[in-house]
Copies of this chain bind each other. A is one copy, B any other.
C-alpha cells in the first residue's frame, strides 16, 4: 500500500501522513526499490486511531502518549484516565467560553439593521463603547480609557495621531 492509498483509506492528506512520520507519530515504513513508502495494515489502523483522537481534538502529544500506552498493555491505565479527564476539562472550558462568545456576538449583530454609513453603525458604536469599558463582559471593568468623546481617532495619514 502506497501513501496515496493509505491517505484515501483514512481520508488523510499524504502530506499529513509524512508529517506524522517526521514528528515520530507514525513509524517509518519500509521503502520499495524506488524509494516509495510501503505501508501495511498496522499503519492503517494506527493512522485511523490517530485521526480519531484528532477528531476528539486531542493534541498530538496526547495521542503520542495514548499510542505508547497501547504499546505497553501492562501499564496502569490511570494515565489514560488522567489524560482524558484533563482533555475533557479543557474542552468543557472552551465550550463555556465559546457559548458566552456566541451570545455576545449575536447581541452585537442585533445592533445593526439595514445599511447606513459606518459612522452611525450600531455595531461599530457598540464595539468602541465596549472597548472603553462600559457594559463590557469580556474585559474587566478596569479598562476605562477616556471619559468623554468616545470616538476612536483614526490611524490614516490624514487623521492626526498626536502622542503622549
Contacts and interface: CB of A to CB of B under 8 A. Distances in A.
A64 to B, nearest CB: 10
Contacts of A38: 163-164
Given A79-B118, A88-B109, 16 more contacts: A11-B139, A40-B163, A42-B162, A49-B128, A52-B136, A55-B139, A56-B108, A70-B118, A71-B155, A71-B159, A75-B118, A77-B112, A77-B115, A88-B106, A92-B102, A95-B99
Contacts of A112: 77, 80-81, 84
B81 A91 contact: no
Contacts of A72: 118, 154, 156
A105 B143 CA distance: 37
A123 to B, nearest CB: 5
Interface residues on A, range: 35 or more
A48 B102 contact: no
A70 B154 contact: yes
Interface in A22-62: 26-27, 29-30, 38-46, 48-49, 51-53, 55-57
Interface in A106-137: 106, 108-109, 112, 115-121, 123-124, 127-128, 130-133, 136
